Amino acid sequence: MKISDIYKKGKRSLSFEIFPPKKDSELKNIDETLGVLCELNPDFISVTFGAGGSSNCNRTIELAKKIKYNYHVEPVVHLTCLCYSKSEIDEFSEVLKNEGIHNILALRGDKNPDIQEKEDFKHASDLINYLRQKESFCIAGACYPECHPESENRVSEMKYLRKKVDSGAEILLSQLFFDNDYFFRFVEDCRIAGIEVPVIPGIMPVINAAQIKRMVTMCGASFPERFQKIIHRYENNKAALFDAGMSYALSQIIDLLSSDIEGIHLYTMNNPAVARKICEGIRNVI
């Protein structure tokens, strides 16, 4: 199934992101997480992909196959391009096609000084356009409610995002954010720019102070004062921070759902307790 069909039917989506374990031996342990996630009946689960080298790709594809065939949930495979050639992308896409995996989140990938960049793909839109010409995948793209860290300004951000959609992105999944006003303004800007595809907000519940400080630094998300107070008050109390972080995420999600957004994409960090708690909190409103 192509995940674009969800939105064509007017359905509101619930989805999760997970990442492949770093060691092949840990793939077995992912079943506990998947068991909980799939009990919650998500519309799809996205699986992250590392830039450079094939081992992470293999774990990504193995995990996607497990989700599809063992748990009967549609996987969305992240595919980066900055460090890959056209022939390597051809190989990846052929494997996905042969495995019956129809959905890709097409990404540029983070720059890494330790990994050689290649010349075939400089932007995610290049990968989207290339895949669109070759295969009948449903292709999703990433978006940044507070602008990509490398963007010059909001106008430039919208220009490149529109290029992704014109190249063939059918859905946009957002980077995490902690202030819904940024997301609402972002969606308005998308519509003004002629971007009409579904824009799905990405929410990450915060249960670890070090984790959130790292993520905010990496993706450039704003750290609202209300949220800062929670972190400062409870960062040394693991149980209290879990409850407070979950409550904050739930308040974000309920506010988003009450504003008729088209779905929720939850960054689980492979933590089934997070997914379960969130879904219990929104069971009657999604």
Q: Among residues 17, 74, 157, 170, which one is catalytic? A: 17
Q: Rounded to an integer, what distance in angstroms lies between the CA atom of residue 267 and that of residue 270?
A: 8
| CA R_g for the chain | 18
Model confidence at 70, in pLDDT bands (50, 70, 90)?
A: very high
Q: Which long-range contacts (CB under 8 A, 24 or more apart) does 155-160 make?
A: 158/189, 158/190, 158/193, 158/195, 159/193, 160/123, 160/125
**Strands 44-47, 263-267: pairing kind:** unpaired
pTM, two decimals, is 0.92
Of 7-16, 179-188, 196-205, 272-281, the range with the lowest mean pLDDT is 272-281
Can you give the pLDDT at residue 194? 97
Percent of the chain, pLDDT > 90? 59
Give backbone dihedrals phi and psi of 165, rounded to 5 degrees, phi first: -70, -40
Token pair for 91? 């190989």
Cα angle 29, 175, 87 (rounded to 5 degrees) comes to 75
| Cα dihedral: 250, 107, 222, 163 (round 10) | -110
Q: Rounded to an integer, what distance in angstroms lies between the CA atom of residue 243 and that of residue 195?
A: 37
Percent of the chain, pLDDT > 70? 95
Cα angle 193, 197, 202 (rounded to 5 degrees) comes to 100
- The residues, ordered by sequence, that sit 6+ positions from 7 with a Cβ below 8 Å of its Cβ are 13, 171, 198, 262, 263
Of the candidates 99, 175, 167, 98, which has an alpha carbon nearest to the alpha carbon of residue 139? Answer: 167
Can you give the pLDDT at residue 207? 85
Using alpha carbons, list the distances in angstroms from residue 17 to 98, 166, 239: 23, 25, 23
Can you give the pLDDT at residue 50? 62
Averaging pLDDT over each range in 182-196, 236-250, 270-284, which range is the top one?
A: 182-196
Residue with the larger pLDDT of the pair 58 and 240 = 240
CB 103 within 8 A of CB 137: yes
Clarify whether 146 is annotated catalytic. Answer: no
Can you give the pLDDT at residue 93? 92
Can you give the pLDDT at residue 55? 46
CB 176 within 8 A of CB 202: yes
Can you give the pLDDT at residue 45? 97
CB count, 10 Å around CB of 91? 14
> In one letter, which amino acid is 245?
G
